[in-house]
Structure 1
Amino acid sequence: MEAKEAGSSLESIILSFNTQISDLQELIIARNMYPGSSIADLTAIDAAVKAMELQIQSIKDTVREESLALPKAKKLIEASLKQQKKLQEMAIHVPSHLTVKTMALQSDSNDHLQPDPSKDNNMSSLGSLKIDEEPAVLAKEKKGRGPPPLWYISGDELASLSSYMRGRLTLEKVNAAVTDMAAYAESTAQLISAPKKKLPESVWERALELRDIAMTEGVKGKHFFLESDIKGPSLKLDNTGKAILTVLRHLGRISEIRVGHNRVIILSKPQ
């Protein structure tokens, strides 16, 4: 019985010994297959793992910051929606094709309409005025004149007109015509105030004619243009254009006067 137990114990020791030898052989084989490079590979793997950990931490920080910013973003969106609603209400009374140049008519200073003091002094010293010089009285007339008025009509004003007068006119068409008329008046004012040396010879006679009209009773000190200046882009001398002029006269935006062979359209300022 004892001999049998001793044999079993010896077999167990031999088996354990053989197992250890097998493990050592596998380790030696593995070392010989990848000599030296295994350490560098492990180091690279470790660096890559650390870099991934840093990226994950950065992602967590970003998510946390975005989560904290959500309440502020919601308030900003609410404020933007309120502002958008206000702008939409304002846009109802402004034509969609309004350009930057046209809008500038309301904000431009009237420097281009101011007289040149040196010219006034020179003129006062002359015994008589030459035809190609600007009259001193015209220089005084230009002083203080502002930009042409852009007095758009509202939907209520258009609706208050009789259906016969209103016809198929829309708020957009009428206000686009108001924009055109302000541009015509601005061009007229520039011709009146421009010195001769800055105008082509072909335009100078027209400038003199406009200056004479500007000094006419009923036109003096006001922004105006001639009916012959009406050439679009929105206001034209067709049936629609004539209907628009009728509506604007009725609503007090313009008045008309005839000077010689010219029909003069005068812009009214808001009361």
Structure 2
Amino acid sequence: MASSDLEDLCFHINMKISNIKKSLQLRNIGQEPSLKSMLCKIGHEMVLLHDLLNKMEMEVQQQEKLKNLLKDLQKSAERDQNEAQHLRKNIPPHLPKPTQSWKDRELCSSSLTDGLELSITGLTVKCEEQTKVVEPERAKKPTKEPRLIKEAPLITVEEFESVPAYMKGRLTYNQVNAVVKDMNKAVVGKYKILHQPLKSMNAAARNLYHRFLEEETKDTKGEFFIVEADIKEFTQLKVDKRFHGILNILRHCQRVREVRGSRLVRYVIC
């Protein structure tokens, strides 16, 4: 046996002996009458300490509940903020006008007073005839309202957190919504050309216009959709592996759906 192994064995045995001695000393001390009162005080302090720990544990649980409530409130505030930003960006271009302006009311009141004055002087002109003297404004030709272009709404924080982890990977909330904005930009660029009169287009716009019509199918009739060529045409977005990963998230959140045919993938806005 090596000397180091023997020393380790001796050290181990000595530690065991020391522990046994300490245990015997403690047992003997506990049996002494002079130390019993001290042990009682220690026991009492232990009970108080236990109660204090229970109170601290309850306080921690309440703080946890408060933290969860604050998280829910934060999610709700972020969702409301996103909806408010979406409403701000999509204000209708034409709002309803009032049916009668203040000038019309003043004109009507003045015509009534004039009719009363004329009837007092003995003239037979009526209020209705007086109002007919005023020439009506020429009706303006109704302007054509711009056609609305459907855009995909941004992903909310709650929706992003519900996406499975394997689908998100290292993607962030802002990266996903950046792709949504670029896709909307491509949709707007495409359908602005489709809604223009053909005579007002230049050669490049006409080529795009004819390509857009060729890509239409019976499954996309009445829908708003784009293809990868549109994304490259109207945005700086790279159509790479990360882009297709974000598309999986957008399909999961029902922002887009795919229509395949003629070796072409069409991304339809839901």
Instruction: Classify the TM-score, shorter chain.
Output: 0.3 to 0.5
Question: Normalized against structure 1, the TM-score is what?
Answer: 0.45
- TM-score, with normalisation over the residues of structure 2? 0.45
